[in-house]
Structure 1
Amino acid sequence: MKIFDGHVHTPYCPHGSKDDFHKYIERAIELGLKGLTFTEHAPLPAGFTDPTPQQDSGMKLQEMESYVARINDLRHEYEKDLIIKTGLEVDFIEGYEHESRAFLDEYGPHLDDAILSVHFLKSGANYHCMDYSPDVFGVLVDELGSVQNVYTHYYRTVQRSITADLGKNKPKRIGHMSLVMKFQKKFPNPDINKKEILDTLDLVAEQNLQLDYNGSGMMKPLCREPYPSEWIVKEALKRHIPLVYGSDAHSAKDLGQGYGQLMKEAPLTQPF
């Protein structure tokens, strides 16, 4: 499996496993990976209140220095065995662009790679972590009026993330672009508006960004397909958008998840 895994979480993840970095790295070597980027959930923007019950969506700001230093040490420790890059998965949260840019201005120079993702959707004065659970997704459906309205709101937010001015250290890869489909077997959307997805891909291409080709959706019982799904990937390839495999592993055993199915559907572009 001579691939690069561009989306891997760490023991710094407050809602993941506590598998040690070495456990991830040794598993990557066992799988024959070319390398990986550790992309822990970045601290949420200053002033934003995490709406999840445990408020565990991102690492703490005070952990950033030790996180970067730890990965730099591991890079040198394993330099003969594996390419290791320092990264983050950064949340785009509508209304907190200024705070996100300030964070990236400070910490972006220390990163080799980063992903920009949408997990939180604003509904009225409230924010919901859309992918936290089917119940939370159901609240959004009730508040916005339909499953399709949730999709529309999600893709509009992703489009804002693509065009937002987050400074010179803005992430170059859009994370799990079809994450809104995570609970599609419980909340089907038979009248999906493909145009809003195609418009999103057009913006990705115009901004010369990459797409996270994320295998974790294959493992989700209410999704059972990658992020993004096959037809979206085909449209991305028509636009020459680079696809970067990501396991989105939150434990060492998750490295490589979904890779076999993804390879049946579309080739990867590995810009590493």
Structure 2
Amino acid sequence: MYNYLFHVHTWRCGHASDEQDEAYIRKAVAMGAKYIIFTDHAPFLGNPFTNRMPYEQLDSYLASLKYLKEKYRHKITVKTGLEIEYLPSFRDYYEELRANKEIDMLMLGQHHYEESRGQYFFHDSEMAYFGLGNATLKGMNTGLFDVVAHPDRIFKAHTHWCEAFDRISELMIKIAMNRNIYLEKNARSMCRLQSKEYRPEFWKLVPADAKIIYGCDAHSTAELRMGEEIRCLN
């Protein structure tokens, strides 16, 4: 038995299993977890990005988990979160999400960054680490986020580690410790070592007293098992 299953997606994001929310909770209960923390990809008004729930489904996501929290309150604690990128022009939106009493946590997951309003860049460029890193640092400094998802994944386009990566990593770690932000060790990244999504070079810089949370990054009930396996990879 272990304590929690963190970083769980739902069918709404468009790249997960079509299993319903309750199926994840039942699986978590069967696995003996005390907590399950959903963090589906947050929508943006107007739906400018793919691979996330449509904005029109946000209310039903929150309502579904609110109902299931109550239904399963004697068996497991259900938490409602969202994984979202920091894009400066949406600052008011993050504050709105943060103020929503149905949302227990916001997780910063920087899959792309904003160069200027309406102009976005994604992971596929070798220089993306610089934009992704700066966006992550800015987002962390807002005080609006509780967790940084897979912070080492911003370096995945690079085979070799360099001093520039050390500098960005050290800044992320410093802000995380100063602001009480969790850094996520991501099981999906760790299980795909050839992809360079997991970078041990980053984690070697993280001191023992930093706040670390282990995420399964599950997109199906079967992938909740990665929450167990990640502990075996450390």
Q: Is the 8 A contact 1:97 1:164 kept in 2?
A: no
1:205 and 2:177 equivalent? yes
Secondary structure class of the residue paired with 1:96: helix
Cα separation, partners in 2 of 1:48 and 1:104, compared to 1, 3 Å: farther
Alignment of 1:54-65 (within 5 A): 56-65=50-59
Change (3 A) 1:181 1:253: farther
Seen in structure 2, the aligned counterparts of structure 1 residues 104 and 61 have a Cα distance that, compared at 3 Å, is farther
1:188 aligned to 2:159? yes
Contact 1:118 1:157 in 2 (8 A): yes
Q: Which position in structure 2 is the counterpart of 1:95?
A: 89
Seq. identity, %: 22
The equivalent residue for 2:192 is 220
Which residue matches 1:128? Answer: 121
Q: What is the match of residue 137 of structure 2?
A: 159
Would you say the 8 A contact 2:121–2:128 is kept in 1?
A: no
Q: TM-score, normalised by structure 1?
A: 0.75
Aligned partner of 1:61: which letter? Answer: Y
> Which position in structure 2 is the counterpart of 1:49?
48
The aligned counterpart of 1:230 is 200
Q: Deviations over 1:224-244 (max 9, x none)?
A: 664xx4343343234x22111
Distance in 1 separating the partners of 2:202 and 2:232: 15
For residues 3-18 of structure 1, the aligned pairs below 5 Å read 3-18=3-18
Q: Please give the secondary structure, in 1, of the residue aligned with 2:82.
A: strand
Whether the 8 Å CA contact 2:81–2:104 is kept in 1: the answer is yes
TM normalised by structure 2 equals 0.86
Instruction: Give RMSD over aligned pairs.
Output: 2.5
Q: Distance in 2 between matches of 1:247 and 1:49?
A: 27
The answer (yes or no) to whether the contact 1:28–1:255 under 8 Å persists in 2 is: yes
Cα deviation code 1:194-220 (max 9, x no counterpart) = 122111110111112111221110233
Structure 2 letter corresponding to 1:111:
I
